[in-house]
Amino acid sequence: MSVTDSRSLTELAQALANGDTSSVALTEAALTRIDALDGALNSFITVDRESALRDATAADARIADGSAAPLTGIPIAHKDIFCTRGLRTSCGSRMLDNFTPPYDATVVERLRSAGAVVIGKTNMDEFAMGSSNENSFYGPCKNPWDLNRVPGGSSGGSAAAVAAGLVAAATGTDTGGSIRQPAAFCGITGLKPTYGLVSRLGMIAYASSLDQGGPMARSAEDCALLLEAMAGHDPRDSTSAQRPVANYREQLAQSLDGLRIGIPKEYFGEGLDSGVAAVIEAALKEYESMGATLHEISLPRTALSIPAYYVIAPAEASTNLSRYDGVRYGHRCDNPKDLEDLYTRSREEGFGAEVQRRILVGTYALSSGYYDAYYKKAQQVRRFIAGDFASAFESVDVIAGPTTPGIAFALGSKTSDPTAMYLEDIYTLSVNLAGLPAMSLPAGFSQGMPVGLQLIGQHFEEARLLGAAHQFQQRSDWHRQTPKLELPA
């Protein structure tokens, strides 16, 4: 008997509005699916059963009295990087295994206000550092299409939970591709908004100039619905953009006639799997049939995005993670001999290998005598990368290409080779360095595994991206494909 639910966020909202189901029924069904399937997937770190059912009961009352908001009564999950009042927020790390925040992140607060029922917190790479969700203190998450493969990272738990039908939608964060890459590997739709569009307050920091929260769901329509609730200026976040929130759903039906799509030649060279290339090329031909025109462009500094990112992000991480010292909150070692021992052992015990590696790299890059050679140089390269995109957008409206160079790889196949792991983000990193919006949508399959098409837009042009993705999804059913997960006998 199948227990998965393939209905989209939009379909669930309609079912609630029509009285065909209740929030309590949806929440109980989601909890049943998690109980049945998540032992194999490990997509959740924490499930908040009692609070979810209580909130679902309250949501049904609001639906009955006509005061429901757009997401009222729909169970969703949050990546365990968003602070949730009264509910453990671990960031996938032993360091925060015992941390219960006294407040909600702005994203959580806004989705609660929109009526969503928080059912739990999803697995992730520790402090969002990883591309496979194998760096979690709570063990690796599995890809629901093949349990021997990774779901991608760092938002792998959210991607796996949505793909497996445990929830219809979840939040993620994207520092260098951590929404788009797992969305591609798991066959769902994920949007990384323009830097500053979604508040970072209460989103535990990895690299402050790169981190951005965003929606992960089945379709572009679902992501539009979520983004309307998540986006908007937050006076408590100094990096929050002061812009009105667009009605993204109203603009989904925009025609693609004359849409100029740029195809970066650097995205189709050495390193791209032939099966993935074939899927992406077929998707681009579909866009041509809808009236779009394809134009070859160049993003010449694409290859430099990896070294630039892996200087800037660890440098910022080394600063952000210095607050975890065993004194104020988080993991504290037993019986420290003195203050130095407290700091040293608390951090050694609390941080995993990948986090320690990036802290050391970042500290080195910021140290006296090396700042100009590494960090300053990386920031200069970052400016050039942003300039490449600006030049490209003078002649095209949207940039398209593969989200990842290959399909989801086998668990454990890259853990001993950090460089190979970092190369998984070759097509996504530069978008974060430039602060642009981008999304991944399902475009087909290769070797039985999902392939994601990446669309990149100009700053604050999420509506155009969502519209382009929605029109493609009106002509295809890749986003409706679900893995065959069955209730164990």
Do residues 173 and 154 make contact, with C-beta atoms less than 8 angstroms apart? Answer: yes
Residue 154 bears catalytic tag: yes
**Spatial separation of the C-alpha atoms in residues 484 and 163, rounded to whole Å:** 10
Tell me the two tokens of residue 48: 């908040």
Angle at which helices 305-320 and 353-366 cross, to 10°: 100
Angle at which helices 462-475 and 220-230 cross, to 10°: 160
Please choose, from the candidates 35, 45, 34, 40, the residue with its C-alpha nearest in 3D space to the C-alpha of residue 138.
45
**Spatial separation of the C-alpha atoms in residues 333 and 95, rounded to whole Å:** 10
Torsion of CA 368, 373, 375, 376, to 10 degrees: 110
Residue 178 bears catalytic tag: yes
Q: Burial of 54 by CB count in 10 Å (0-12 exposed, 13-18 middle, 19+ buried)?
A: middle
Tell me the two tokens of residue 118: 């928080």
Q: Which of 22, 93, 155, 178 is catalytic?
A: 178
Length of the chain, please?
489
Three-state secondary structure along 96-149? HCCCCCCCCCHHHHHHHHCCCEEEEEECCCHHHCCCCCCCCCCCCCCECCECCE
Do residues 292 and 372 make contact, with C-beta atoms less than 8 angstroms apart? Answer: no
Residue 391 bears catalytic tag: no
Q: Which of 131, 154, 199, 240 is catalytic?
A: 154
Instruction: Look at strands 449-456 and 438-446 and give their pairing.
Output: antiparallel
Q: Which of 79, 142, 192, 414 is catalytic?
A: 79
Place of tokens 């430099």: 304
Secondary structure (DSSP) of 327-350: SSSS---SS-SSHHHHHHHHHHHH
Tell me the two tokens of residue 18: 């029509």
* Radius of gyration of the chain from its Cα atoms, rounded to whole angstroms: 21
Secondary structure (DSSP) of 441-487: EEEEEETTEEEEEEEE-STT-HHHHHHHHHHHHHH--GGG-----B-
**Spatial separation of the C-alpha atoms in residues 197 and 176, rounded to whole Å:** 16
Q: Could you give the residue numbers annotated as active site?
A: 79, 154, 178
